[in-house]
Structure 1
């Protein structure tokens, strides 16, 4: 059972997933800091210091904090928008790198391709000789 678990845990996909989760957690901290420390204060300035988190109403003894919910929804959209732009920028950079690699990589023709090219050229030459009066 231990050998099976070890084989499962050491498969490439599991390790890639673990690395992705760790990097995702670190990236999540960066995005949270971006939202909390930069974007939310700017948004607060634009909205005149409006803070949704303090909004609530009381029904009997129950306090319904709808403002905290609205603030969480707004934070979600800011985070999603930020991640969208970061991923879009990374994708643009990756496409540029892929294009550079495509331009660099021009594989030499294989033996079969060379042979087929020679046959094509001979057939073309033979056809031209027949068609010439």
Structure 2
């Protein structure tokens, strides 16, 4: 069982996932800094509040905080946009050599067809 555990830990996927998780934690710090330092103050100024979380209203003793909902939506959209850009760049980087191979393979295949047709006509 210990050997199986060592094999599991030594697989590349576990290391890749661990690195991804650590990067995600620090990426969250970037998102928080952008939100807290730039976006939230702008939205708070638009609504005339000193703090973004003050946007909302009271019903009896309960506080309905629309600012927290807006904050969560902005975080989601911002993270989704950054991930979209990263995945798009990654797909472009990965797909480029594949497209070259496909073009080369198509050219090679067409050349073979041409040669076979030329042999048939002779």
TM-score, normalised relative to structure 1: 0.65
Q: Is the 8 A contact 1:52 1:71 kept in 2?
A: yes
Change (3 A) 1:75 1:95: same
Task: Report what 2:40 is aligned to.
Answer: 40
User: Hey, what's the Cα distance between the residues in 2 that align with 1:51 and 1:57?
Assistant: 20
Which residue among 93, 117, 121 is the counterpart of 2:118?
A: 121
**Bigger helix share:** 2
Contact 2:44 2:52 in 1 (8 A): no
Alpha-carbon distance change, 6 to 103 in structure 1, aligned in 2, over 3 angstroms: closer
User: Unaligned regions of 5+ residues in structure 2, if any?
Assistant: none
Contact kept, 8 Å, 2:35 with 2:75, in 1: the verdict is yes
User: Normalising by structure 2, what TM-score?
Assistant: 0.70
Q: Deviations over 1:59-113 (max 9, x none)?
A: 5xxxx3432xx33321111111112322333345445545754676554777x98
Asked if structure 1 preserves the Cα contact closer than 8 Å seen for 2:31 and 2:79, the reply is: yes
* Alpha-carbon RMSD: 3.3
- Where in structure 1 are there 5+ consecutive unaligned residues? 127-133
Give the aligned length: 118
Relative contact order higher in (CA < 8 Å, ≥ 6 apart): 1
